[in-house]
Amino acid sequence: MIYSLLVLSSPASGHGARHAVQFARSALQRGHTIDRVFFLDDGTFAGSAAAVFPQDEASPLQCWVELSERHALELILCVSSALKRGLLDAGEAQRHERCGPTIHPAFVISGLGQLVDAMTHCDRLVTFGG
Amino acid sequence: MPAAEPPTRHLVVVRRAPYGASLARTAIETALAVAAFEQPVDILFMGDGVLQLLGQQDSQASGSRNMGRLLASLPLYDIEAVYVDGQAAAAYGVDLANSPVAATALTPAQVRELMDRCDKLLGF
């Protein structure tokens, strides 16, 4: 089955972001396909390259980066949610005259159209948080 | 020739009060994006979300954009239908006659039917 994930909650608060990682890992292990994970609202904090988590907490960023490298899943940050939270790629940093990129290169900043597109191609959309 | 597949029916479920969290606006903007890509989409207000349907919202003092004005624009974007959990609206005393957008009140059984009928549900 083809899944798309929509992540709404911040990795720094609550369980939604962690459940999304665990769901993705389990679904992929069982042979399902996840083509795209769309991060929206506070969910976009997942892409922050600047966040520092304590050593005794799992790094949510590293979990997503490993999954995307191993399974070629797309990690998309909603552009309007990301910008207002200071999450910028090199292009956005330059366009808005900020000091530099703040997201990990495994993530891509794009529009809500990517979520709509994912929904039309997947069998199931699973929302985390909110 | 095989018949064309029926289009995916989307339902955006909104459970956030209008000015309590950014997800309130994000939910409506997501519904607008789905409609902009010419996909059928309905909106259902439930729980605290029914407070979005309060009439005459004035957000100026809070420094945030007016949700009522955004909702009033929904008919321009081909949002198929706007529904509200009638019990929640009554519990909060929301007068649907003054709502910024026309919303059809549903019974709990009708809410279940609506959710069963849709193909993709986005819960905010």
The domains found in chain B, sorted by start residue, are 10-123 (3.40.1260.10)
B23 touches chain A (CB under 8 A): yes
Taking a C-beta distance cutoff of 8 angstroms, is the pair B68, B56 a contact?
yes
Q: What are φ and ψ of residue A13, in 5° steps?
A: -150, 135
Rounded Cα distance, A116 and A129, in Å: 19
Q: How many structural domains does chain A have?
A: 1
Q: Which residues pair with A128 in a beta bridge?
A: A7
Q: Is the alpha carbon torsion for A34, A35, A41, A44 positive or negative?
A: positive
CA nearest to A117 within chain B: B37
A116:B120 CB<8 A: no
B39:A119 CB<8 A: yes
CA nearest to A128 within chain B: B123
Rounded Cα distance, B16 and B27, in Å: 9
**In the structure encoding, which two tokens stand for residue A12, read together?**
């720094």
Structural domain span for residue A95: 2-128
Taking a C-beta distance cutoff of 8 angstroms, is the pair A103, A77 a contact?
yes
- Residues in A touching B15 (Cβ below 8 Å): 130
Q: Where are the beta strands (DSSP E) in chain B?
A: 10-14, 41-45, 81-85, 104-106, 120-123
Tens digits of per-residue pLDDT, A10-20?
A: 999 889 999 99
Query: How close is the nearest chain A Cα to the Cα of B64, in Å?
Result: 14
> Cα B54 to the chain's mean position, in Å?
13
Contacts (Cβ under 8 Å, ≥6 apart) of B86? B105, B106, B107
**B8, B29, B122 ranked by CB distance to A127: nearest:** B122
Rounded Cα distance, B14 and B46, in Å: 6
Q: Calculate the alpha carbon distances from B115 to A119, B4, B83 in Å.
A: 16, 23, 11
- The interface pTM score, or ipTM, of the predicted complex is 0.89
Helix (H) or strand (E) segment spanning residue A78:
strand A74-78
What CATH number should be reported for the domain holding residue A65?
Answer: 3.40.1260.10
**B22, B33, B122 ranked by CB distance to A125: nearest:** B122
**In the structure encoding, which two tokens stand for residue A79, read together?**
């552009």
Tens digits of per-residue pLDDT, B3-50?
A: 667 788 999 999 999 998 899 999 999 999 999 999 999 999 999 999
Tens digits of per-residue pLDDT, B53-104?
A: 999 999 988 888 899 999 999 999 888 799 999 999 999 999 999 999 999 9
Tens digits of per-residue pLDDT, A61-109?
A: 999 999 999 998 999 999 999 999 999 999 999 999 999 999 999 999 9
